[in-house]
Structure 1
Amino acid sequence: MLSVNSDVKFIKGVGPKSQIELNKIGIYTVMDLLLYFPRDYEGVNFAENINSCEDKEKIFIYAKVFKINSDIRVKANMTISSVIFQQNGCKFTAKWFNQPYIKNSLKIDDTYLLKGICKVVGKNIEITNPKIIRNSQGDKNKIIAIYPQKGSITNNFLNKIITNLLVDIKIVDNLPYDIIKKYRLIDLDSAIRNIHCPKGRELLEQAKRRLKFQELFTYSMKILWLRAMSQANLGNSIPISSELIKLKESIPFQLTEAQCRAIREILLDQKSPSVMNRLVQGDVGSGKTIVAIVAMYNVVKASYQALMMAPTEILAKQHFSEVKERLEGFDINVELLVGSTTAKNKKIIKERLRNGEIHIIIGTHALIEEDVEFKNLGLIITDEQHRFGVNQRCRLSSKNNSADVLVMTATPIPRTLSLCIYGDLEQSIIDEMPPNRKPVETFYINKKQRNKAYGFALEEVKKGRQVYVVCPLVEENDKMKLSSVEILYQELRETFFKGVDIEFLHGKMNAKDKEEVMNRFNQGIVKVLVSTTVIEVGVNVPNATVMIVENAERFGLSQLHQLRGRVGRGEHKSYCILLPEIKSDHTRKRMEIMKNISNGFLLAEEDMKLRGSGELFGFRQHGDSELIISDLVEDYNILKAANQEAKFIFNSEDSSSLELRNYIENYIKNSSNYICFN
């Protein structure tokens, strides 16, 4: 019998080569494999009679090989292989393009399970490029798990070894029986088995529900544990510097009352003997960065160091420029440490951090590296916290347990959800916009008016303004017909923006290329930037006045609001034009909300009510990657229940609760996931 900690090499069907391939995609143990959940499922629609199948119908069919034809070469680089199959006396042809090895692996009179799409050609039926599924049993209710495809590991192989594994393992449930009974959850062993090898749709849904509860329960326990740890840690008791008045006088604009309130709350936390753990929520453009600068200035004046971590290099570099400019003349050393920093400069920066020469360091996840050490760290700031996840923040906090922690987000979150997600943090709200911030006019138009939208954007370019065009995917996806950045870029440069300086930007580009494109856009050389949501947060180009969002229905409202926030930062009137592809009442309603509501906090409440897209606040897309199966927004009701039970267990003194609490605390200290079992 295998345990969850057993090496994958002990699973039946895993040889030395496949072990290496599994390791490449992060699967080392039995638990890793069990938590490699399917991304989708396919119900098996078995065709009883091939002649009754409709054109373009997706089918599974058992059939016997009747005849294997010779390959036909139709072009220099094109070979067609064909095999005639027979089912109950009815014949059909399977064809493969440039895949002769499939035909060569088949034998006359052997029966195979084929998966493919029917094509009716006159009185004949063909299946083009069908998949051959070997060693399959004829279960008409069978549901096939479709796993994320990485490396050379195939879906058939994963299904095979997971089926083998489930024979040799028994999973022990650690959730109290009264909770299981209260919420009518299936046991954990059944949940794991049915998430991989569902015995029916109903059991699959029950498995998902149980695993989501398990994950969100442990997630909630970690939040509670973090809060308890932070309350137990003594802070640095940093005094409020008398020199803050000099910084305030150097700021060339009036702070809003909301900014002043947040600053007061932070300074009082810093003065307190306890460690600060505070979340600053602000709407797009509400001025959170200046609040962070004041907090960093105060700790530096008390002879401490501060670090600020952003989710992307683009945002980190922007913060660096703004902080350096704002603190110029105050004898404060500010440095940048990101992935693209040269090895030589990294070494110098790390040494200067250790000896205290650098007062403020700004960067990306590179700051979590083990060899980044500080002489006297007093403040940790993470920007756009939901992109990092709780585990990354834990690693960051481990740099100094007595350092204050300030979390910032420009993604307003409804209070009820925020209390569950950020239960370990006190909260400050910046719900007031600077008086010089101009409102952005929002439109949504149908595909027929697309030319008009780009014509309008071109007129803005002729006035000397700049334009963002955002689309959701980097690579072309024929099935969903979504825009690809590079394809859209080619289209626009050859049509609407012919002769205009236009560039593209996406996350798969290397850091140097991204930086060059952004610098050219910042300098006004590039007039039109076609991009993914890599520009969603923090990018600040005051001359940009138009934001066009292709396939707008693919984004959550809060994400669209973030994109809209990239314009309207200068003196000129700005516009956001949404181009949804899908026509539905749901899409129209969401676009109307975007058009009529500009307040991010109100928008977040509407986003929460709709909860239709699956990535409303961007948690799943950007990265609470620690969550494997659940979604903090879509599964809010489960989160709320799990959070309630976690609080009860965490605060209970009975022996069984203490035993579970100790087990989970030990688990979350040593694991990056939240579905714990033994």
Structure 2
Amino acid sequence: ELTFFNNSYIQNLLSSGTCYLFYGKVNRSYGKYQMAAPAFAKDGQHPGLRPIYPQTKGLSSRIIESAVKEALHLLPDTIRDPIPQEIRQQYSLCELRYALENIHQPKDKESMEIARRRLAFEELLVLQLGLLAMKNRIREKSSFPIQQNFLENFWELLPFSPTNAQKRAAEEAVQDMQSGFPMNRLIQGDVGSGKTAVAAACCYTVIRNGMQAAFMAPTDILAHQHYTSLTKLLEAAGIRVGLLTGSMKAKEKAAVKADIANGSISLLVGTHALLTPDVQFQRLGLVITDEQHRFGVNQRAALAEKSKGTHVLVMSATPIPRTLALMIYGDLDISVMNELPPGRQKIQTFCIDTGKRMRALHFLQKHVHEGRQAYIICPAIEGGNDKASVTEYAQHLQEVLPDCRIAALHGRMKAKDKDSIMEQFSAGKIDILVSTTVVEVGVDVPNAVDMLIENAEQYGLSQLHQLRGRVGRGSYQSYCILITNAQNDNARARMKVMCETSNGFTIAEEDLKLRGPGDFFGQRQHGLPELKIADMNSDLAVLKNAQEVAKKLLQQDPPLEEPAHRGLRAEVRQLFAESGSPAGSD
């Protein structure tokens, strides 16, 4: 059944007894398939492939199509192509004019793919040129020299033996710092691989060489936790660690700022508060940022700029497939920690439907009676009212499990209230913590053995893996229970992966396949330009080619000043200026 809203006009276009092709969205209603206001053409006269553009109010896909058609007619016969001819020939890329015409008005699927591949190559080439230029610019600077490697002294301070992966990552970082150029390194490790000890080793080495270090965490809770961990690791060496967060009282902040300026604090741990102009270091040698995808490249650069020649170490517990890591962190050298400390038990993971929820809750209650603790994760309600979602769940849970001490934690709480609840949970004064994903990163409570996740289908694999990593930190057997009624194939595939593997790098690869890079990071927070054409699932070979070309071009012509390269130079500036990244400036 077809419905049109301008009947008399449509009647003049349609002839009885003629065969037409209709195109539009099909809905089923009252047992009938229906289309409202479909596009149509006589059979044999349809125009072939039609573009569909993102629509906004008052600007339909058809209006955009018409405007694009007009713009294409206005193109001059010759367009200056930013990709030099020899590169186009080497990689079988079409000219820019052909690409523009056939991405919008393709003759067939083959010509559309030729155009798309060319534009994807250009997009990835410009991105790689910007990232590599940032890396080269860092290597042009001189750094504070690290004269002595104190790693062996540090490992002797630890109450445990470091893993080979920890030793390797720390050694790579110290070698960078001894090179005479500023370090700019990413350490990627799975949940629980011991990145904090590596960070402490680097801080220790820098401080023993007469400089200060700064460690920036994304939340107050994590800043407090890192402060506690680093103090324990370094106090035996007589190193003073300070804490600076936005929630501290003005008097406390002033005292810390004075001590960091006069050098009596050697390592400052904090949140974004470290970025404020009045935080002045006496001799800052190393900046560490935790959970990199929560900080843009600008913030990373802002902290490093507090002292010229500062070394930068980035820590991420979100494993990222290496190809994607090279694209996103192309300005960084990468160390991978793929080994867990001995003694960590595998977390048993189960997926159940909502009909078995009560059974799961009594399973948690049994562990509480044994002296253990649990997390329950509630998804935020649409519209962002996570407070209502978590509070209502916690109240209902208290009725179901009256003998358990239950508390709620959500994103709308004041920082001091969040810290208070986490401190109580860490101290064992709360049995079950009902929370949104604010506990996703880094929270360390060894006595917590259960992670129950409601509506698990709402999360990506990497986020589920992060949440699961909040348990299994002590000597007790731990469990992750995924509750979902989702029946779609994608959700089922994700739950299957979670139940079958605990390797974060394997999970990251699967997450990228299932969700694509656009959703891989959730809300984009890594501070890099958005890709408009390239697809990191299907364009990995194109990315590899673009990286090869970018390296060669920057070796031949670092400032991209030769006439054949000026078009690319202009595109790099524009792309990175739009994202606010340092490559957008000279």
Same fold (TM over 0.5): yes
* Offset, 1:438: 1.8
In structure 2, the partner of 1:176 is: 83
Residue of structure 1 in register with 2:528 after alignment: 626
Partner of 1:278: 185
**Alignment partner of 1:599 is 2:503:** yes
* 1:501, distance to aligned residue in structure 2 (A): 2.8
Distance 1:314 1:185 in 2: 53
Does 1:588 find its partner at 2:496?
Answer: no
Root mean square deviation of aligned Cα:
4.5
Q: Aligned match of 1:613 in 482, 495, 515? A: 515
1:352 aligns with 2:259: yes
Q: 2:166 corresponds to which letter in structure 1?
A: Q
**CA offsets 1:419-457 (integer angstroms, 9 cap, x no match):** 333333333232221113221111112333233222322
1:541 corresponds to which of 445, 458, 462: 445
CA deviations 1:638-657 (Å, max 9, x no partner) are 64454444334433448235
Cα distance in structure 1, aligned partners of 2:184 and 2:419: 33
> Which residue number corresponds to residue 15 of structure 1?
none
Deviation of the 1:332 alpha carbon: 2.2
CA distance 1:588–1:394, change in 2 (3 Å): same
Structure 1 residues 138-217: aligned runs within 5 Å: 145=54, 155=57, 175-176=82-83, 178=85, 182-183=92-93, 216-217=124-125
- Aligned CA distance change for structure 1 residues 350 and 190 (closer, same or farther; 3 Å): farther
Residue matched to 1:31:
none
Q: Are 1:185 and 1:206, in contact at CA under 8 Å, matched by a contact in 2?
A: no
Distance in 1 (CA, whole Å) between partners of 2:578 and 2:53 is: 29
Within 5 A, what are the aligned runs for 1:373-452? 373-452=280-359
Cα pair 2:126 2:572 within 8 Å, conserved: no
Amino acid at match of 2:388: E
* 1:663 paired to 2:570: yes
Contact residue 150 and residue 204 of structure 2 kept, 8 A: no
Distance 1:204 1:548, change over 3 A: farther
* Structure 1 counterpart of 2:127, from 219, 227, 233: 219
Q: Which amino acid aligns with 2:165?
A: A
Tell me the CA shift for residue 547 of structure 1: 0.9
Deviation sequence 1:87-119 (CA, Å, 0-9, x none): 99xxxxxxxxxxxxxxxxxxxxxxxxxxxxx99
Structure 2 spans left out of the alignment, 5+ residues? 12-26, 31-49
Equivalent position SS for 2:318: coil
Higher RCO (CA 8 Å, separation ≥ 6 residues)? 2
Q: Does the 8 Å contact 1:553/1:582 carry over to 2?
A: yes
Structure 1 residues 550-559 or 624-633, which shifts more? 624-633
Aligned residue among 455, 478, 496 for 1:574: 478
SS at match of 1:569: coil
**SS of residue paired to 1:548:** strand
Question: Is the aligned partner of 1:487 residue 2:395?
Answer: no
What amino acid is aligned across from residue 469 of structure 1 in structure 2?
I
Query: Offset at 1:562?
Result: 1.4
Q: Which residue of 2 aligns with 1:315?
A: 222
Aligned partners of 2:93 and 2:118 also within 8 Å:
no
Match of 1:290 in 2: 197
Describe the SS at the equivalent of 1:314: helix
Task: Tell me which of 300, 318, 334 is aligned to 2:207.
Answer: 300
Does residue 647 (structure 1) correspond to residue 555 (structure 2)? The answer is no
Q: 1:546 offset after TM fit, Å? A: 0.7
Structure 1 counterpart of 2:421: 517
Q: Which residue is equivalent to 1:458?
A: 365
- 1:30-109 to 2 correspondence within 5 Å? 49=3, 61=5
Query: How many equivalent pairs are there?
Result: 541
Output the TM-score relative to the length of structure 1.
0.67
Q: Deviation per CA, 1:252-290, whole angstroms, max 9, x where unpaired? A: 222222212222222333333232222222211111101
Q: Give the fraction of aligned pairs with identical amino acids, expressed as a percent.
A: 39
CA contact (8 A) 1:467 1:547 kept: yes
Pick the structure with more strand per residue: 1
Q: Judging changes above 3 Å, is the alpha-carbon distance between structure 1 residues 623 and 538 closer, same or farther for their aligned structure 2 residues?
A: same
What is the distance in 2 between the residues matched to 1:492 and 1:210? 54
Q: Is 1:554 the equivalent of 2:554?
A: no
For residues 360 and 603 of structure 1, the distance between their equivalents in structure 2, rounded to whole angstroms, comes to: 34
Which deviates more from structure 2 when the two are superposed, residues 528-537 or residues 558-567? 528-537
Against the structure 1 CA distance between its residues 290 and 663, is the aligned structure 2 distance closer, same or farther, given a 3 Å change threshold?
same
Give the deviation of 1:158 after TM superposition: 12
Displacement of 1:320? 1.1
Seen in structure 2, the aligned counterparts of structure 1 residues 578 and 242 have a Cα distance that, compared at 3 Å, is closer
- Which structure: greater helix fraction? 2
Q: In the aligned structure 2, how far is the partner of 1:142 from the partner of 1:661?
A: 27
Distance change in 2, residues 1:639/1:446 (3 Å): farther
Aligned to 1:91: none
Letter in 1 for 2:129: M
8 Å CA contact 2:191, 2:317 repeated in 1: yes
Structure 1 spans left out of the alignment, 5+ residues: 1-46, 51-60, 65-86, 89-117, 122-140, 148-154, 478-482
Contact 2:451 2:481 in 1 (8 A): yes
Distance 1:204 1:673 in 2: 32
Deviating more after overlay: 586-595 vs 289-298: 586-595
Structure 1 residues 271 and 532: alpha-carbon distance in aligned structure 2, compared to 1, 3 A threshold? same
